[in-house]
């Protein structure tokens, strides 16, 4: 059975910020970034069991973009909660708040 996905509001903001940033750099590369995020989420629905990195949070790097999807897995409810889509080039202070 595939897992359900819940995207926290902070993660939604992260995704939109990434789209906006890439669109400012060139004409519409934000679509490619958004597609990479959607592909990663689809991958998680099938197999969410990546290595735990910290505090029960697992991470999946995006292909072709310096971002990682940070998520938790509730095996009982078959639920994946996307906590953040973090730019790995930025300062990590954001994760500490």
Tens digit of each residue's pLDDT (9 = 90 or more) over 18-39? 999 898 887 778 889 999 999 9
- How many structural domains are present in the chain? 1
pLDDT of residue 32: 92
**Domain at 25, CATH number:** 3.30.2310.20
What's the rounded Cα separation, in Å, for the pair 88 and 9? Answer: 19
Tens digit of each residue's pLDDT (9 = 90 or more) over 57-79? 999 999 889 999 999 999 999 99
Residue 46 lies in a domain: yes
Residue 75 lies in a domain: yes
Question: In terms of Cα–Cα distance, which of 63, 54, 51 is closest to 83?
Answer: 54
Q: Crossing angle of helices 30-46/9-25, nearest 10°?
A: 140
- Domain residue limits at 25: 4-90
Q: Is the pLDDT of residue 92 over 60?
A: no
Q: Is the pLDDT of residue 82 over 90?
A: yes
């Amino acid at each position: 059975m595939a897992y359900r996905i819940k995207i926290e509001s902070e993660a939604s903001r992260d995704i939109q910020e990434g789209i906006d940033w890439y669109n400012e750099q060139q004409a519409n590369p934000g679509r490619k970034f958004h597609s990479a995020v959607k592909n990663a989420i689809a991958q998680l629905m099938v197999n969410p069991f990546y290595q735990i990195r910290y505090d029960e949070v697992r991470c999946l790097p995006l292909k072709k973009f310096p971002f990682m999807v940070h998520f938790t897995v509730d095996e009982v409810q078959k639920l994946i909660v996307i906590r953040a889509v973090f730019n790995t080039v930025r300062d990590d202070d954001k994760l500490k708040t």
